[in-house]
């Protein structure tokens, strides 16, 4: 995660929540979660890491087709409340 630094606001901590893969027993169909949960509590098989898109210096994703708003923005989109802006 390489979001731009905005003074006065905390940045991301670089951690993304992964997906936990559980084993609920052999009688459970994992594709549609039908069947019987025969193993409680379930065993954790693995933690699948989250993949994050690469970002440019403005914090916009670099993958895929760029949005028209990124090429010709109407304003900035930082989530910063208007009351904290300059007066």
Domain boundaries, the chain: 1-15+53-82, 17-51
**In the numeric block, which tokens belong to residue 41?**
């509590």
**Averaged over 64-86, what is the pLDDT?**
67
Q: Which residue has the higher pLDDT, 68 or 32?
A: 32
Quick one: average pLDDT of 2-7? 66
C-alpha distances in Å from residue 77, one per residue of 4, 10, 28, 43, 49? 12, 16, 45, 42, 28
Specify the pLDDT at position 12: 64
Yes or no: say if 6 and 80 are a contact pair by the CB < 8 Å rule. Answer: yes
pTM higher than the cut 0.85:
no
């Amino acid at each position: 995660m390489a979001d731009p630094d905005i003074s006065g606001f905390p940045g991301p901590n670089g951690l993304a929540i992964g997906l936990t893969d559980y084993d609920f027993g052999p009688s459970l169909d994992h594709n549609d979660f039908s069947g019987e949960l025969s193993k409680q509590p379930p065993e954790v098989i693995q933690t699948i890491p989250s993949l994050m898109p690469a970002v440019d210096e403005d914090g916009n994703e670099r993958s895929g087709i760029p949005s028209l708003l990124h090429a010709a923005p109407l304003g900035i989109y930082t989530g910063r409340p208007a009351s904290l802006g300059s007066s």
